[in-house]
Amino acid sequence: MPPKKRSRPANTNHHHDDDDQHIHNELRKRVALHAVNDTGSTSSYSTRTRSTSTSISTHNNKHDNTIVIKNEEDDDITRPIVTKNTLMWFRNDQRLQDNRALYAASMRSKVGGTQGCLIGLYIISEEEWAEHDEAAIKIDFWMRNLTSLKNSLDKLAIPLIVKTAKHKIDIILIVESLVREMEISHIFWNAELMINEKKRDVAVRKALLKKFPSVCVEECDDQCVVNPLDVKSKTGNPYAVFTPFYNTWCKLVETEPHYLELSEAPDANPPEAKLLYASHFNTKIPSSYPHNLDVNEINRLYPAGEEEAHNRLEQFLATKVKKYPEARNVPIQEGTCVISPYLNSGVISIRQCVVIARAANKNKITTGDDGIKAWIRELGWREFYRNILVSFPRVCMNQAFQPKTEKVKWSYNENHFKRWCEGKTGYPIVDAGMRQLNSTGYMHNRLRMITACFLVKDLLLDWRMGEKYFMNSLIDGDLASNNGGWQWSASTGTDAQPYFRVFNPLLQSQRFDPKGDYIRKWVPELKDLTEKQIHDPYHGLTPKEFAKLGYPKPLVDHAASKKKYVEEFKRALALGQ
């Protein structure tokens, strides 16, 4: 069965109240939006999961194209909106298909059969990127996908205006300027979950409300299959443990079909838009962003565009998913989808991933093919960590989920951290993972766990140092998932592994890279060693043989480091009681 998509009302070139009302009903029924009220706060008018507090209505006068936004909590508040152009502010959602804000913006631009146009906006804000330690390779990926998005929009006569904000405060000025210049009546965007971005959006809304009180700002929930605020325990509290969260999430997805409804791509603008806004179709977009990796190799590994994202998913489901439960832990096999760069940059949506995988499993999530079940469960972890980010925002403020673990005394040994970053710890499996990261901007998930546990529990280094390094290096860096993964490894997070459970890098190497092929690929100094020698060359060779390798001695003794870590963590927990 093909994925269910949102229906679109037929386009008209005349004003008709029935068509107008149909569009309003579609907006209200199908897209989880937030309308701005006079205090600059957000009030939901989604009919799916939250109570309606804002309504859209049209005047009965057939010659009046005015739309009134009315907040039902205050009958005195009405704002006439004369339908002109509609602005779609793209963020981490560089796609046409299943983009809720873009879909809603496209519908709005057709209200009443007027010839208002849909305009796209993307703001380059390096100050914001720096706040989140975004990797240069990830920003380069964004720019390449932005070019792909612009080309797709051009075919629909939709201009994509790209502006650069030197400072965050300039974002408000950019939006205000475009509202004035482009005669904007409505602005749409997809909500972001991070604290700073929420504050930014509130500031933009307040500024617009003050200068342009007739402009309506509408915010859509798009980042998750199920909005984090909707997944609650029976007591109404957010989940802090994955399994019960996932069980509830699955139940919601399986019993409430609207969660998996996919939005259509936008309609084309009237042809004259190409002439009206000719200069904006020539917007210059950086074709790349400077980074230190092999540009040609990175472009080969991660081509830009929605089509590439969908091809990866389809190929994975067709050729790899059957073996996924076992192959996902064997890094040399490349048994995973490697769709995370596209998912975390919004080139494909989380809903599309679930819908397409579910369709390949006879529309099942918790039963059926083991590989598909396991893969969807990994998507569930992504949803879970977003739930944690929203419900416990301290985790994105450099704070541990478990405050009592803040008593741990980390070593902050700069040499140890440098050796870990460079992949020169003397532990081959750890070094292979770090060198893959440094060469490609990507690391296999099993290696992310191994390298993270080594940094925290063998080197006794603060997990925040590793979290930052990963974000500065990963093409698929994601604040919620990266933080969740690091806190899991450090035993400071929600549903984390117990502090006394410490990965043995030698055993991990022997189990998940038994022949040493992954190590040989990324640690060429060891390529000529046998399967037995390659996992622990320092102890498997004579001192003279080892010296010839040009490979470093182990930075620490694992057994001694484990003992030290467990004792320190136990001490910290006792103080934190």
Return the active site residues.
378, 381, 410, 445, 463, 486
Q: Pick the closest to residue 152 from 198, 195, 200, 120 (CA basis).
A: 120
Cβ density class 517-540: b for 16+ within 10 Å, e for less: ebbbebbebbeebeeebbbbbbee
Q: What angle do CA 318, 320, 535 make, to 5 degrees?
A: 170
Paired residues of 87 in beta bridges: 119, 187
Q: Pick the closest to residue 305 from 149, 150, 156 (CA basis).
A: 149
DSSP string, 224-289: SSS-GGG-B-TTSPBP-SHHHHHHHHHHHHHH-GGGGPBPPPPPPPPTTHHHHTGGGGG----S--
Q: What is the DSSP letter of 79?
A: E
Q: Are 75 and 222 in contact (CB under 8 A)?
A: no
Q: Pick the closest to residue 465 from 539, 403, 413, 530 (CA basis).
A: 413
Q: How far apart are CA 344 and CA 223, in angstroms?
A: 9
DSSP string, 86-118: EEEEESS---STT-HHHHHHHHHHTGGG----E
The 3-class secondary structure across 141-159, one letter per residue, is HHHHHHHHHHHHHHCCCCC
Q: How far apart are CA 117 and CA 125, in angstroms?
A: 26
Q: How far apart are CA 465 and CA 481, in angstroms?
A: 16
Cα-based distances in Å from 265 to 55, 153, 392, 427: 25, 10, 34, 49
Q: Pick the closest to residue 187 from 94, 269, 65, 102 (CA basis).
A: 102
Q: What angle do CA 166, 168, 171 make, to 5 degrees?
A: 85
Q: How far apart are CA 550 and CA 570, in angstroms?
A: 38
Q: Which residues are annotated as a binding site for FAD?
A: 324, 336-340, 375, 378-385, 476-478
Q: How far apart are CA 504 and CA 515, in angstroms?
A: 18
Cα-based distances in Å from 300 to 5, 296, 308, 471, 475: 32, 6, 11, 22, 14
